Structure 1
């Protein structure tokens, strides 16, 4: 049985929720949103500190694992993706980071004069979506549906970390989404009234009562249906049964791992990869699944002399007490994401544009091992413009199989060099007056690890994942680009990709805000097509 709609949106993550919600509110188009996960009903999703527990139980995660990272320690890395309405925006650490204008200058260069993708072009989208309670003026919005705030309270460890970076020579920057990114300051978070504000909260929920919006969860899209070169609908599985939905426009917003995977399963992609799995070629698109980028992260941590930060609240009665305090007052440890300050710096050129993002966690140890945390500070260093590239491929022709992917973390020697330089810089910060008197000793990599070789081994062993995959359906003006400047799949009609996979290069920092800006611009482009 086929149902007919004006637009089908595949994927209810940050991009898909924005697209479906805005289309339903701003047009009369009949919109169908298909999400493979469920609704965002778990209370932990909406409590700012709850994401740490959600990452442990895995209920809202696709359990994806990379190929072994032979350039590191030979082990695979987990790159779980959000599963359910809101996608990664319902389970992430809620950092709101636009990136640097030069990121978008490279996007504009990629599309040449075929589209408008500079920072100036995207700034109106950032402003319109933003309900910022801390900053106003020409660079920020105060009335938008996406709530953005600073931490309600900043704990003593994070305050000391900010002081340490300023004592090391980095300027204080109250607004890294403003005039410039360089500096240290409080995090900007997608939190409003002490609750997480995901794209589902901001854009989809206000539209869900609209008669022109249908939201179907637990629906796995298995194939794009074509009539010649025109996309006319999708096949999907729900409750063990296969269904077909038809539409005038089909929008893929399944993320940088699953958007290319769905295209390949539908016969759009590199000829050799499709032939290897016995999938008939419908449209040769050589860069589908290529150019995978992700932000590599490596920690340096130190134990504090006295009990400070949030380690004690990770388990047991203190955790329950923090939960009760939050429910009664909206304050306390449960009202925070645990990352209350951040620095953007260039370890090679202190006055230069940042190449590293350093998040300050008010715990020491592995944040994914709540029982193993101790009182202290972790400085999580991220190379924000990595040169390394990887790929996404198919495991087989089964739509239920997870994708095969290789992020190639630190595969380019320059990425490793920048990461080692950032660790040395952070060691200088830990020796500033603000931090040396409250830190007992360096836990990891440890004071005896001083050579480049030792720090490189530390990077290979401890590298963690930011879950920021981008670039696998890259936008460009060249023939090999997957989508054009209008986000249409090149060589196909009525088929669009609107999510982080279209980024020609990764942005300098957490990718959730830029992904929503892509979706916002995509909505405007799609509205033009609907009127045609």
Structure 2
């Protein structure tokens, strides 16, 4: 029998969870969500301080980059979530909108309707979700010292990074409530799963889109058995058993929505013949839609770490390990900050932490990177991981600005306000002073910020992949809704922007069938 739903959502990550929740609010709408990852969620997901133990675990795709020339040929880890909740199970829980100019820039690049004025109501919708202010009650005193140190250097104190101009030092809002992570799984997906019109299938790896003519009508997926013996809690809907193991097709009466993230979404499009013909044909893949921008414009924030051994024992973590930050500009005349210095009250490098457990870290990061890379198929096997190239420090301005961030981090830990937490600098170390040595340190240590974005960019030019309504160019019945559609990653931790995109997409989708929103 032909199985059909109104909407098929591919991916139960942050964006997919929002879509599942919003689209299933209409009891007459049947929604299927396909998730490649397992149904059981490790207990560490709920512990805000345990995020680092989830990396490279069973709910991480464990992607690796191709060798990065800007990092001396190093290969970087590129964590992405693979379970209900997706990467919102792995992220550090900072609730940061970004700067208003980020979204105005999207609009100027062809994403009309996505200016800050137009997306702000969706960010305000997120503000109703349970969350904590890191500066209230449970804050680590070292995090307060970091803010005081920034103020000593003349930076403004910011009461709320989400209130407009975010330049200065302050406390993060955290997606934490009652001491537990409140990612997309807890905030969106689980509350909706008891609705009879919402079906979640896990261990269901989508391998292709079913396209007839110029219309996407469904998907093909591989149903695998659930992993045996996995611990943690089970995410269940009201429908019970999965289909038998093997290949299946399922059809969408209205739309297929790809929400696999900035690495898997372009991979699925390319496997389905949507991409650059000159790259698809050598793989033996027929061209469904010639869109050369699929997989291009891939980028990520990039960071490194300045670590100091503390004179004072560092209290055990109570929240997410990273409660305060500084956003600042690398030079005059910029519309918003392009550097973020996050404070982490643990050693960022585990090897250093083994010998110096009372170590704190300042993480300078370039949050408006100029470097752009790509995601491409390794070959046509749908179960093979794609080639991932963030091109870290490929543009020299990113290298110079990251060096500037390291210098500023050293100034912060050298202040009087921070002196109780600074016994000695462990990394880069006092011997690293010359520009040449600092440049070598940055190339040797720079790493992923885990904010992958941009590989199915929205716009109207020849290299855009989706239009401002997130519809794939040249095809009907198909949208992409996740971080891949961002023309440029926002100036800060990007999880909140992904939720915003999905909230707005849900309105766009329902408006397309004549349902109005208050």
Pairwise CA RMSD of aligned residues?
Answer: 1.8
* Match 1:375 to one of 354, 358, 365: 358
The answer for the alignment partner of 1:103 in structure 2 is 102
The answer for the alignment partner of 2:50 in structure 1 is 50
Do 2:33 and 2:199's aligned partners in 1 also have CA atoms closer than 8 Å? yes
Mapping of residues 81-480 of structure 1, within 5 Å:
81-111=80-110, 115-130=112-127, 144-145=128-129, 147-150=131-134, 152-239=137-224, 240-248=245-253, 249-310=255-316, 333=317, 335-349=318-332, 353-367=336-350, 371=354, 374-480=357-463
Do 1:96 and 1:148's aligned partners in 2 also have CA atoms closer than 8 Å? no
CA drift at 1:148: 4.7
What is the SS of the residue equivalent to 1:89? Answer: helix
Do 2:293 and 2:462's aligned partners in 1 also have CA atoms closer than 8 Å? no
The answer for the alignment partner of 1:314 in structure 2 is none
The separation in 1 between residues aligned to 2:76 and 2:360, in whole angstroms, is 24
1:81/1:355 Cα in 2 relative to 1: closer, same or farther (>3 Å)? same
The separation in 1 between residues aligned to 2:33 and 2:108, in whole angstroms, is 32
1:95/1:285 Cα in 2 relative to 1: closer, same or farther (>3 Å)? same
Do 1:183 and 1:343's aligned partners in 2 also have CA atoms closer than 8 Å? yes
The separation in 2 between residues aligned to 1:5 and 1:77, in whole angstroms, is 39
The separation in 1 between residues aligned to 2:141 and 2:198, in whole angstroms, is 46
What is the SS of the residue equivalent to 2:382? Answer: coil
Do 1:146 and 1:199's aligned partners in 2 also have CA atoms closer than 8 Å? no
The separation in 2 between residues aligned to 1:33 and 1:369, in whole angstroms, is 42
Do 1:347 and 1:425's aligned partners in 2 also have CA atoms closer than 8 Å? no
The answer for the alignment partner of 1:72 in structure 2 is 71
CA drift at 1:301: 0.9
What is the SS of the residue equivalent to 1:434? Answer: coil
CA drift at 1:41: 3.2
TM-score, length of structure 1 as denominator length: 0.89
What is the SS of the residue equivalent to 2:219? Answer: strand
1:213/1:404 Cα in 2 relative to 1: closer, same or farther (>3 Å)? same
Do 1:222 and 1:399's aligned partners in 2 also have CA atoms closer than 8 Å? yes
What is the SS of the residue equivalent to 1:61? Answer: coil
CA drift at 1:399: 0.8
The separation in 2 between residues aligned to 1:409 and 1:303, in whole angstroms, is 28
CA-to-aligned-CA distance 1:235-294 (integer Å, 9 cap, x gap) = 000124001100021000000000000000000001111112111111100100000110
Do 2:72 and 2:444's aligned partners in 1 also have CA atoms closer than 8 Å? yes
Runs of 5+ in structure 1 lacking a partner?
131-143, 311-332
What is the SS of the residue equivalent to 2:497? Answer: helix
CA drift at 1:28: 2.4
